A and B are shown apart, each in its own frame.
Chain A
Amino acid sequence: MTHVPATGSEPLAPPLPRPTPTSAPYWEGLAAGRLRLQHCQTCAAWIHYPRVRCPACFGTDLAWEAVEASGVLYTFTVAVRPTAPMFAGSVPQVIGVVELPVGVRITTTIETDDPDGLRVGMAMKGVFDTSERVALLRFTPDR
């Protein structure tokens, strides 16, 4: 269990990703402003999140390749109540899923001044958020 205190007077910070040997190229890519994904050299499937085996063919011949950080909004919600105490300072928070043209889906947050204007299927573009120790990939409507 990761030891994030559940109570106390200090505001809790949202937890940051902890890269693993398998996933490190993904996070290094984001830090450099590039979205890199695993691409199966056996069956051509694109893979997200990173794994040691392709979930389509279970093969291990996986290469890291850059793709454009853009896609469509697959679904989203405006979390009015925080989803956990660490996000109490982030509400209302637009949590969403973006589907890339290569078929993978990515969990993200949507940066927008107009959450009421969001629609499933809208074009989205990536925003590389390097404000913390680990870069995160957020998205915003591509107008």
Chain B
Amino acid sequence: MGNSLRHIRVIAANTFTEAIRQKVLYVLVVFCLLMLGGSSFISQMDFKGDDFKFMKDLAYAGISLVGLLVALLGAALLIPAEVEKRTIYTLLSKPVRKFEFIAGKYLGLVALLTLFVTLMAGIFFIALWGHENALTARELAAGGGRLTEVQTQLVGEYRASAYDPAMIQALALIWAKLCLVTVICVLFSTVASSTVFIVSCTLFVYLIGHLQMIAREYFLGGEVAQWWWKIFLAAVALLIPDFQTFNLSDEIIAGNTVRWVDTAPILAYAGVYALVTLTVSALVFEGREL
């Protein structure tokens, strides 16, 4: 048991190192450009106080997209490569179990995603801070160095909107969603060896996952007659995770109150789903001829 945990940690660290040495961090440059472009764009426009919502929307979309790229490519490139390049032969000639390999790969990718989300969140907060400072400075300049009552209130609103602690919850939701996409990608990587195929299947599940709620309602409502539709809806409702649930972050971005008690069950749902999928992946991989 102690050995297993150590093996998983060693393989995870190796996966993380591999990704870093493949220079994946360059992807962050894209995100920086996006944030820079976004901030300078809103500085030109007048969004009438919706500045921060715009920035948050942009950052959220950026983090989701970059994270999705890292998750998909990470799992769909690194796992099949071990099999294709046969490095797994050397690995499995050691007293290492196949599930340790799968868990190690997954946790390495989770570590990578954590780093990415943290760094992008950092860049995003710097952008927010910069913009908030610019707006406050503008008010100060307009008031000749002093703020009127109305202006003071306005600046306070800027601050509240820029430094909304609920954004942490929104980031946690993205992170959980990305970890879930990764585990699905890992599952496909244990059965297939083609990166394109794995990425396509994962994206398919990801998209269907956004419609999952509808499928569930139709299935439970019993409104469809054809049996094949019923089976399909049941499969979607039972097997595919509900990605729509992570869109609670939209509420946070819109500035509505969302508390941790609302977010926590979603995070727990993602954790349980990931654990189950990882177990299934390990079992599938156990039976696979290499």
Tell me if chain B binds chain A: no
